[in-house]
Amino acid sequence: MNDQQLLRYSRQIMLPQIDIEGQQKLLDAKVLIIGAGGLGSPASMYLAAAGIGQITLYDDDQVDLSNLQRQIAHNTDDIGMDKVISTRNTLKKLNPDTKVIVHRERLVGERLDREVENADIVLDCSDNFNTRFAINRACVNHRTALISGAAIRFEGQVSVFTPGCDDSPCYNCLYSSEGEELQRCSTNGVIAPITGIIGSIQALEAMKVIMTIGAPLTGRLLLLDGLTMEWQTMKLRKNPACPTCGTG
């Protein structure tokens, strides 16, 4: 770590739970983020600012005027631009030391498997069930930690899945793959700060897992009702009959 980095990350380094060793873990980390929208924007921005060494980002969409209300990695001049390019530009302005690799495509199949295998941690910032279950399967197969978030209307939720550790459940233990399709912001609406809150929590949980500090949300689902500003925590248990991670 050079003098510029010591100064840039000094407010984190002074925390006894982090110190030089924890900051170095962040600098060495490779994070895969799937989705550059409402959740992926704040999550990627905080991770880059905090000093994550490499961020790989996948999204196949372009910036639209309706995105700007909540997708803070993009601005008005970015309308029509690929979201991954707009996000990369924002992250490089925040922290030019972070290596940002972007792909304008939906991450599926063998490429999904390879990317998860090469990542230290995965953030699911997508908005459809098929993608979420595919990400979860790949993370279970490679025992890669998964930080899952969702936001709609005034509601948000986030959880951490650490396959092979602490008897962690997986995303499929929480949601059946035969359930209803995720509700989308385009049809149900969303208040802007909810995506920022949940995306920021995803970034925090990722940093905790990378540095092995604190108590991540493994085995817990954190729920936020923004209208009443009430938080609830549900305990999650591993499902022995889970089709993805179960033993049955």
Please identify every residue annotated as catalytic: 185
Contact 119, 32 (CB under 8 A): yes
Closest CA to 121 of 245, 218, 44, 33: 33
CA–CA dist 64, 39 (Å, integer)? 16
Where does residue 68 rank: exposed (0-12), middle (13-18), buried (19+ CB within 10 A)?
middle
| Pick from 30, 41, 33, 31: nearest CA to 151 | 41
What tokens appear for 189 in the block? 């609406």
DSSP code, position 9: T
Could you tell me if 63 and 37 are in contact, meaning their C-beta atoms sit under 8 angstroms apart? no
Count Cβ atoms below 10 Å from residue 115 Cβ, excluding itself.
Answer: 22
* Long-range contacts (CB closer than 8 Å, 24 or more residues apart) made by 235-242: 236/159, 236/169, 236/173, 236/174, 237/169, 237/173, 238/167, 238/168, 238/169, 238/170, 238/173, 239/169, 239/172, 239/173, 242/169, 242/170, 242/172, 242/173
Tokens 């999204």 belong to 59
